Chain A
Amino acid sequence: MARRIGFFICECGPNIGENVDIDAVLNAVEDMDDVVLAARFGLMCSGPGKDFLKANIKTEKLTHLVVAACSPKQHELTFMEVCEDSGINPFLFQLTNIREQVAWVTKDKEEATEKTIRLAKAAIRRVRYHDPLSKTALAVNADVLVIGGGVAGMAAALRLASPERRVHLVERSSSLGGRVVAQGPIYPTMASGGEMATAMVDLVEGNDWIVVHRYSEVSVVVGFFGNFEVVVTGELEDGGTLETKVNVGAGVVATGAEVLEGKPLEDLGHGSIDGVVSSAELEAMLADGSIGGKGGKAPKSVAFVQCVGRDEVGYCSEICCMNSAKQARLLLEAAKGAKVHILYRDLCVPGRDQQAFLEGAVKAGANLVRTTSVEVGGSKGGITVSHSLGDGKAEKLMVDMVVLSPAMVPPTGTEGMAEMLNVELDPSGFLLEAHAKLEPMAAGIDGIYLAGSASGPRSVSDSIVQAEACAGRVLSSLIPGRTIEPEIRVSHILETLCTGCQTCLEVCCYGAIVYDPMKNVSHINAAICRGCGNCVAACPSNAISLYHFTYKQLYQEIVEAIR
Chain B
Amino acid sequence: MTATITIDKPLDEGVRTLLRSMLEKGTVRAVLTLRRLEDGGGVAHCLVTDPAALAEAVPLLPVMPSQGGQVLSHLTQEEPFKEPVAAVVRPCEARAFVELMKRNQAFGDNLVLISPECPGVFPVQRVSGDPMDDDIDAYWRSTSEGKGADGLRPVCTGCELFEPIGVDMTLRLVGRSDLDKVLTVRLDTQRAEDMVKDLGLGKAKEDGKDPKGLEALRSARAKGRADLRAELDFTGEDMAEFSRTFGKCISCHACSKVCPICYCQMCYFEARAAAAGPAWWRNDLKRKGATRAPPGTVFFHVGRLLHMSISCVACGMCEDVCPVDIPVARIFKKVGEAAQEVFEYVPGRDPKEEIPIKTFVEDELHEVER
Contact = CB atoms under 8 A, between A and B. Distances in A.
A542 B264 CA distance: 9
Contact of A501 (B104, B268, B271): B104
B103 interface: yes
B266 A540 contact: no
Interface of B: 78, 103-105, 263-268, 271, 274, 279, 283, 287, 307-308, 354-355, 357-358, 360
Nearest to B105: A501
A552 interface: yes
B343 to A, nearest CB: 15
Nearest to A496: B266
Given A552-B279, A555-B279, A541 B104 contact: no
Interface stretch (A266-274, A375-383, A472-480, A502-510): A502-510
Contacts of A538: 357
Contacts of B287: 559, 563
Nearest to A558: B283
30 contacts: A497-B264, A498-B265, A499-B105, A499-B264, A500-B104, A500-B105, A501-B103, A501-B104, A501-B105, A501-B263, A502-B103, A502-B104, A503-B355, A503-B357, A506-B354, A507-B358, A520-B78, A538-B357, A540-B263, A541-B266, A541-B267, A541-B268, A542-B264, A542-B268, A542-B271, A551-B274, A552-B279, A555-B279, A556-B283, A563-B287
A499 B358 contact: no
Nearest to B359: A506
A500 B104 CA distance: 7
B104 to A, nearest CB: 5
A540 B264 contact: yes
A551 B274 CA distance: 9
A427 to B, nearest CB: 12
Contacts of A501: 103-105, 263
B285 to A, nearest CB: 12
Contacts of A507: 357-358, 360
Contacts of B268: 541-542
Contacts of A540: 263-264, 307-308
A122 to B, nearest CB: 12
A552 B358 CA distance: 26
B266 A503 contact: no
Contact of A556 (B103, B104, B265, B279): B279
A538 B358 CA distance: 9
A540 B311 CA distance: 13
B264 A559 contact: no
A541 B357 contact: no
Please classify how large the interface on chain A is, using the bins under 10, 10 to 19, 20 to 34, 35 or more. 20 to 34
A538 B355 CA distance: 11
A212 to B, nearest CB: 40
Nearest to A542: B268
Given A499-B105, A502-B104, A503-B103, A541 B264 contact: yes
Nearest to A509: B360
Contacts of A555: 279
B279 A503 contact: no
Contact of B265 (A499, A506, A551): A499
A538 B308 CA distance: 12
Contacts of B103: 499, 501-503
Interface in A454-507: 496-503, 506-507
Given A498-B265, A503-B358, 16 more contacts: A496-B266, A497-B265, A497-B266, A499-B103, A501-B103, A501-B104, A502-B104, A503-B357, A520-B78, A538-B357, A540-B307, A540-B308, A541-B267, A551-B274, A552-B279, A563-B287
Contacts of A499: 103, 105, 263-265
B276 to A, nearest CB: 13
Given A502-B104, A507-B360, A541-B265, A559 B274 contact: no
Contacts of A556: 279, 283
Nearest to B269: A542
A556 B357 CA distance: 27
A544 to B, nearest CB: 12
A501 B311 CA distance: 14
Nearest to A506: B358
Contacts of A542: 264, 268, 271, 274
A538 B265 CA distance: 16
Q: Considering residues B105, B274, B287, B357, which has the most beta carbons from chain A within 10 angstroms of its beta carbon?
A: B357
A195 B120 CA distance: 81
Nearest to A534: B360
A381 B355 CA distance: 64
Contacts of A503: 103, 355, 357-358
Contacts of A551: 274
A130 to B, nearest CB: 14
Contacts of B265: 496-499, 541
A475 B64 CA distance: 67
Contacts of A497: 264-266, 271
Interface string A547-563: 00001100110010001
